[in-house]
Structure 1
Amino acid sequence: MRAIWKGAVSFGLVNVPVRLFSATQEHDIRFHQVHREDGGRIRMKRVCSACGEEVAWDQLAKGYEAEDGRLVVLTDEDFEQLPLATGREIDVVEFVPTGQVDPMLFGKSYYLEPDARAAKPYALLREALAATDRVAVVKVALRQRESLAVLRVLDKVIMMQTLLWPDEIRAADFPILEEDVELRPQELRMAASLVDSMAADFEPEEFEDDYQQALVKLVEAKLEGAEPAPVEAGEESATEVVDLLSALQASVDRAKASRGEKPEKKAPVKKAAPAKKTAKKAPAKKTAKKTPARKTA
């Protein structure tokens, strides 16, 4: 890895010289825009909309357009005059409990490597954070912009994770959530049972990017001039829940089956006893026709 920033962590009167390394990398395949007919690369030209001429890199500047249409142009010299109080330092502002930082605020992650002469103060800061179960809230200037970040411990390394500023978080405004929803006790019990049946320890190594793997195979097949293998379609998820309780029960059974467990035997539902069929009355026996009484003389 190559360091992207050099500076020092400053807390109190202690300075810890460190180097900053990006802790993550994307595994997406990068594509170029090409001409479908001959595969030629498509080049984008920087053309001025006012004069129609192509503009060189050294002639570019940053412009901001106000709501009323006015435009102000800022040059590199303008940006250099802006104050960056943190300079080349990671300035510790305060130490806060780990659970108080909402994960929604987290941005990019970095590793901090101590300088050869700073191993002891680095270890001291690391052990202090771990012992107190706190993170350090810091300010740092990265790419000519001041950022808010936290320092936290991961195994033996101190990580820095940039944070979004509070005004960059949107509020969740959904009127439907204000409506009262009636939940039956059996539905709550079944939902809790589903959670228990799918409970596990998070092991990120167990998960794979199926789309990325299929894309790599597709590209490799194209490079070899072979026909790509057909991709198996995944199971379609239900789009409509007719009976929530039945759907929860089916979900629990499927989760247990995926773990090799037998689904619980469902208690037989007592059905109303069908009405007793009345015996069909036997057809009345036809009585023999009475012979007419003989008339007496």
Structure 2
Amino acid sequence: MRAIWKGAVAFGLVNVPVKLYAATGETGVTLHQVHGADGGRIRYRKVCSVCGDEVQFADIAKGYETDDGQMVVLTDEDLDDLPLATEREIAVEEFVPADQVDPIMLAKTYYLEPEKTAAKPYALLREALRTTDRMAVVKVALRQRESMAVLRVRGDVICLQTLLWPDEIRAADFPILDAEVAVRPQELTMAASLVESLAADFDPSEFADAYQGALESLIETKVSSGRTVPRQAAGESPSEGAEVLDLLSALQRSVERARTARGEAPEPEPAKPARSTKARSASTAPAAVGASDDGAAAGAKKTATRGAARASASAGGKDGATGTPRSTRSPHAPQADDAVPAPDQ
């Protein structure tokens, strides 16, 4: 075991240096939340509800929300300045009869181990508690919180049991308990007889957690039969890729919206690359040489048409008859000025 606290028990003028150990701990099978498809562990991110940013541990503070919704932020420096007199001391306040401590107040149990130099005062305190059948009511600070606790003897060790504060215990406010219920003597006799028939000395080792046993058997069966998911390397966080895709999608929608507002046709899908014609041209070269005069004339006509189009474009796209600007935009080909929509004037 590893000590979670070091200090001293102080009663009167006597100090007993001790170490504190957790006396209890959860056992059994630990189950994780995983993705059913591939067995990957489910992770959670600490995200701010106001700005939406993921918050690193160093930037996390404590806060208290008031009744009107205001948030009081408390930093580590604020909390460090609070007085905590019992931080390294278990201060004995009083000794009370053991039967006066209501078990409902008992919380977590710790073992007290004396330092090597404190064996005698430790034994003296232990025997005094045992002889008088009393508990020591103490105050102690654990994990930056002051707690009320009791010291009691269990075998040869002194145990510290933290107690709930009185305002942490709820009242059993059930109206039905106030009703008068008549119990006949015969019924009470039969109930007492049943109690006596099941009377025994308490031995916790006689009880077992049947659910945990069945769960362990189920897991062992799946492992032995090979019904497991192989461990896989953790994949790259999808958040970055998703943000890029979302950004591109938003930009694309913005461009299309701007085109629609200007009454332009949406940008067409990229054209598929043309098939190479080198081999075909080489195989048909002799036929091209022996082409008819009609074919040559048609080729000359196409060349002239392309030349006229280039001349018209170089002239600033003006109509030859009126001299007014003429749009040279093709409804099927994107232009350079379409890359980014112009801002609204």
Q: TM-score range by the shorter chain?
A: 0.7 to 0.9
Alignment size in residue pairs: 227
Task: Report SS of the residue matched to 1:131.
Answer: helix
Taking the aligned partners of 2:138 and 2:223, their CA distance within structure 1 comes to: 48
Task: Report SS of the residue matched to 2:82.
Answer: coil
- Residue number in structure 2 paired with 1:171: 171
Code of the residue aligned with 2:166 in structure 1: it is: P
Identity percentage over the alignment?
68
Change over 3 Å in CA distance of 1:226–1:191 after alignment to 2: farther
Give structure 1 stretches of 5+ with no counterpart: 228-297
Task: Report SS of the residue matched to 1:188.
Answer: helix
Taking the aligned partners of 2:200 and 2:182, their CA distance within structure 1 comes to: 29
Q: Which moved more, 1:133-142 or 1:81-90?
A: 81-90
Shift of 1:12: 0.5
1:24-47 deviations in Å (ceiling 9; x for gaps): 111132222211111111111111
- Residue number in structure 2 paired with 1:183: 183
- Residue number in structure 2 paired with 1:237: none
Q: Which has the larger radius of gyration?
A: 2
Taking the aligned partners of 2:128 and 2:75, their CA distance within structure 1 comes to: 44
- Residue number in structure 2 paired with 1:261: none
Task: Report SS of the residue matched to 2:90.
Answer: strand
Q: Which runs of 4+ in 1 moved over 6 A?
A: none
Code of the residue aligned with 2:209 in structure 1: it is: D
Taking the aligned partners of 1:53 and 1:74, their CA distance within structure 2 comes to: 20
- TM-score, reference length from structure 1: 0.75
1:259-289 deviations in Å (ceiling 9; x for gaps): xxxxxxxxxxxxxxxxxxxxxxxxxxxxxxx
- Residue number in structure 2 paired with 1:219: 219
2:28 pairs with 1:31 = no
Shift of 1:101: 0.2
Residues 87 and 142, structure 2, Cα contact 8 Å, conserved in 1: no
- Residue number in structure 1 paired with 2:293: none
- TM-score, reference length from structure 2: 0.65
**Relative to total residues, which structure has the larger helix share, 1 or 2?**
2
Task: Report SS of the residue matched to 1:54.
Answer: coil
- Residue number in structure 1 paired with 2:198: 198
Shift of 1:88: 0.2
1:210-251 deviations in Å (ceiling 9; x for gaps): 111111111121222268xxxxxxxxxxxxxxxxxxxxxxxx
Give structure 2 stretches of 5+ with no counterpart: 228-345
Taking the aligned partners of 1:28 and 1:77, their CA distance within structure 2 comes to: 39
- Residue number in structure 1 paired with 2:153: 153
Task: Report SS of the residue matched to 1:201.
Answer: coil
Code of the residue aligned with 1:18 in structure 2: it is: V
Residues 96 and 134, structure 2, Cα contact 8 Å, conserved in 1: yes
In the TM superposition, 1:97-112 aligns within 5 A as: 97-112=97-112
Shift of 1:183: 1.2
